[in-house]
Copies of this chain bind each other. A is one copy, B any other.
Amino acid sequence: MQSYLTNHIEKFVELSEADIELIGKVVTVKSVKKKTFLLQADQVCRELYFVSKGCLRLYFINKKLNEQITQFAIENWWMSDHGSLESGKPSSYYIQTVEDSEVISISKAKLEELFEKVPRLERYFRIVQQRAFTASQKRIEYIYSMSDEERYRHFSSLFPDFIQRIPQYMLASYLGFTPQFMSKIRAKKV
């Protein structure tokens, strides 16, 4: 039985019917209401989440006790705390739905088993991981080459649809500035 997930995987590697069966057996599809936590700080992260519908955010609480968002995941993106996943240590992050969402999850343990049975998945995850890394590097490049205002305008022009989906204060957090500053910028552009 095909799923959003196996569909996505097949954009990168071929899967047999048997592979799809095996994958189907170890993943869990969940409908999750807005503002539900999939991971909370101090818990060990044991799963990877694939968004088939909706939007997740990854954030931590900084020293000033504000939420600092470091990632969003929308349709066809994975989200997890790989640090906690690998080390087995408690996470310092929260993963929460921003909208009512549909999430496909797989435990780290099951995924390891799955790699033995469907080695092609190593390739899929290598490619996905590489893209994530490239995106993350690009983000660091932007942080260091644009002012906050420029970064806001750049992000808005790249993802006009996305910024409609999320509250502005979340975008401000993701871009690393205050909601007040964001209002200021938006007021300018008339």
Q: Are B70 and A141 neighbours in the complex by a CB distance under 8 Å?
A: yes
Q: Are B133 and A82 neighbours in the complex by a CB distance under 8 Å?
A: yes
Taking residues whose C-beta sits less than 8 angstroms from the other chain, chain A's interface range is: 20 to 34
Interface residue SS majority, chain A: helix
8 A Cβ contacts from A18-36 to B: none
- A163 adjacent to chain B (CB < 8 Å): no
- A123 adjacent to chain B (CB < 8 Å): yes
Q: Are B122 and A126 neighbours in the complex by a CB distance under 8 Å?
A: yes
Q: Which residue of B lies closest to A64 (CB)?
A: B145
- A37 adjacent to chain B (CB < 8 Å): no
With the chains together, A115 CA to B2 CA distance in Å?
27
A70-B144, A133-B133 provided; 9 other pairs, C-beta below 8 A?
A68-B144, A70-B137, A82-B134, A82-B137, A119-B119, A122-B123, A129-B133, A136-B136, A140-B143
Q: Which residues of A approach B to under 8 Å, CB–CB?
A: 60, 62-63, 68, 70-71, 82-83, 86, 115, 119, 122-123, 125-126, 129-130, 132-134, 136-141, 143-145, 176
